[in-house]
């Protein structure tokens, strides 16, 4: 895992720690890009959104959006596979040597990307913002989806397959996503609806949450269509409580 390698690298890079701390000047990324150039398609909020916007602007201005998007997506996948990485990057005790070593390790996972990503990671390190990297990856993905005319649709289902075990027959269960045929029918129906603007294309993901009991929860952009059994039960309980 990357977190283990980062931890080893940090230990090797910091045999001695400085006793005094100096306030480092905050480095501004993509300062050369004017406000009217390379504007992102949407606004993303939060400090991680600010950095994601700066990265998008710099990559757009230098015509490196595609390789930058691939590199950031690769880093996002690393976070998904390594739960400890975000905690290590957020450690307040990291020295300049630690950060330099961490950036070197992160660059190994970005592939043959442009200097844009390397400079961006160095900027995060210098500004003590490496802990924002996971959020930046997510927000940058949102910017790229909007730039490509994609509308995100998340379909949450409760499809569960029961199977028997030797210890407890018929009690074990394995959550499965919806089959491709059902997802395709949903995608076709939503694509023709008013939820998706003309010229837009859906980016579909399927999640499984047994807590909704049954049915589906469909999220399209900032809209939610709750067709779950749990929602119906909640409405029924509210109706009964109001009546009584």
Transcribe 89-137 into DSSP letters: HT-TT--HHHHHHHHHHHHTTS-S--HHHHHHHHHHHHTT-GGGHHHHH
User: Would you call 198 helix, strand, or coil by DSSP?
Assistant: coil
Which mean pLDDT values do the consecutive 10-residue runs of the chain (244 residues) have?
A: 64 46 49 60 94 95 93 94 91 93 93 84 95 96 90 82 49 63 87 80 86 88 86 85 78
The neighbouring-strand residues paired with 224 are: 219
The neighbouring-strand residues paired with 154 are: 205, 219
pLDDT of residue 2: 67
Q: Which residues contact 54 (CB under 8 A, 6 or more apart)?
A: 29, 30, 120
pLDDT of residue 172: 46
pLDDT of residue 183: 87
pLDDT of residue 170: 46
Q: Is 19 exposed, middle or buried (0-12, 13-18, 19+ CB in 10 A)?
A: exposed
Dihedral sign of CA atoms 8, 12, 18, 24 in order: negative
pLDDT of residue 18: 38
Q: At what angle do helices 115-126 and 47-61 cross, to 10 degrees?
A: 150
pTM (predicted TM-score): 0.66
Taking CA atoms, 120 is separated from 103, 129, 187, 199, 225, in Å, by 10, 11, 36, 32, 38
Domains of the chain: 47-146 (1.10.520.20), 149-162+178-243 (no CATH)
Residue 51 in contact with residue 127, Cβ under 8 Å? no
* Cα 31 versus chain centre, distance: 25
pLDDT of residue 137: 96
């Amino acid at each position: 895992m990357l977190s283990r390698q980062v931890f080893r690298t940090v230990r090797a890079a910091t045999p001695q720690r400085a006793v005094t701390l100096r306030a480092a000047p905050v480095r501004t990324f993509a300062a050369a890009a004017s406000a009217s150039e390379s504007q992102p398609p949407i606004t993303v909020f939060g400090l991680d959104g600010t950095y994601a916007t700066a990265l998008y602007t710099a990559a757009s201005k230098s015509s490196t959006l595609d390789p930058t998007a691939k590199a950031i997506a690769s880093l996002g996948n690393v976070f998904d596979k390594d739960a400890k990485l975000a905690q290590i990057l957020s450690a307040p005790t990291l020295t300049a040597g630690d950060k330099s070593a961490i950036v070197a390790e992160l660059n190994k996972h970005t592939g043959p990307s442009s200097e844009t990503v390397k400079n961006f990671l160095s900027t995060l390190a210098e500004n003590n913002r490496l802990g924002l990297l996971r959020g930046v990856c997510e927000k940058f993905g949102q910017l790229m989806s909007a730039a490509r005319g994609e509308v995100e649709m998340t379909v949450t289902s409760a499809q569960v397959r029961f199977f028997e075990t030797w210890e407890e027959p018929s009690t074990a269960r394995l959550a499965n996503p919806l089959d491709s045929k059902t997802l395709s029918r949903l995608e076709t129906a939503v694509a023709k609806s008013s939820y998706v603007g003309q010229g837009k294309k859906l980016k579909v993901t399927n999640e499984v949450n047994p807590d909704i009991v049954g049915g589906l929860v469909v999220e399209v952009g900032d809209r939610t269509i709750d067709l779950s059994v749990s929602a119906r039960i909640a409405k029924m309980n509210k109706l009964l409580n109001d009546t009584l």
